[in-house]
Amino acid sequence: MHVKSASNDYPIHPHLKERWSPRAFDNRFIEPEKIRSLFEAARWSPSAGNIQPWYFILGLKGTETFENITKTLDEFNLLWAPRVPMLFITVASKVNSNGDYNHTALYDLGQSIAHLTFQAMEEGLYVHQMSGFYPEIAKTLFDIPENYEPVTVVAVGYMGRADTLHPRMAKGEVKPRERRKASESVFSGKFNMPSSIF
């Protein structure tokens, strides 16, 4: 197993330093109590107006739901994701209780997955989020209502070995993680004016 620690410039929590998105997962069963804790963490994420626009369609390997989730994946993700023990689709409610468009729904859904991901690290699990899937297929297979948007598919499991992966992705599994510097993302005064904090 290969852990890709962040080469951070400033101190961060160990879970954030060690978090990354593997594609090589062990076939090992995930304990139900750990799965419950993941979604409990997502539940307590902040959201605008406490609308909580996040919903999840959970499939455990060997179930019909899992198989249907794999039918939504694009060709690349089909090379690895069907081997993981757990997949789920994230769904955002696009309107609030008054029927008005909720412009922070995707932001809030993303926060809930960030909370879930942090909890996963606490449980010894890893998370890989995928945009490579077909939302329209997901809507059809799971009868997702019109005002709800499938956003991503998420894989969760214990880390596996890179040599079990398809050759197309084996090299990326061990490649060092890279990010642009925080100073390139944080501005003051005007957009693209670096902040003096760095």
* Cβ partners under 8 Å of residue 140, min gap 6: none
- Is pLDDT above 70 for 2? no
- How many angstroms separate the CA atoms of 112 and 20, rounded? 17
Neighbours of 173 (CB within 10 A): 19
pLDDT tens digit sequence for 68-99: 999 999 999 999 999 999 999 999 999 998 88
Topology of the domain covering 32-160: NADH Oxidase (3.40.109)
At 171, is the pLDDT very low, low, confident or very high (cuts 50, 70, 90)? confident
The domain ranges of the chain are 32-160
At 1, is the pLDDT very low, low, confident or very high (cuts 50, 70, 90)? low
pLDDT tens digit sequence for 105-164: 999 999 999 999 999 999 999 999 999 999 999 999 999 999 999 999 999 999 999 989
Both structure tokens of 59:
């499939």
Beta-strand relationship, 148-157 and 86-93: antiparallel
DSSP 3-state of 45: coil
> Partners of 149 in the beta sheet?
92
Query: What angle is formed at CA 50 by the lines to CA 46 and CA 51, rounded to 5 degrees?
Result: 115
Does residue 133 contact residue 62 with C-beta atoms inside 8 Å?
no
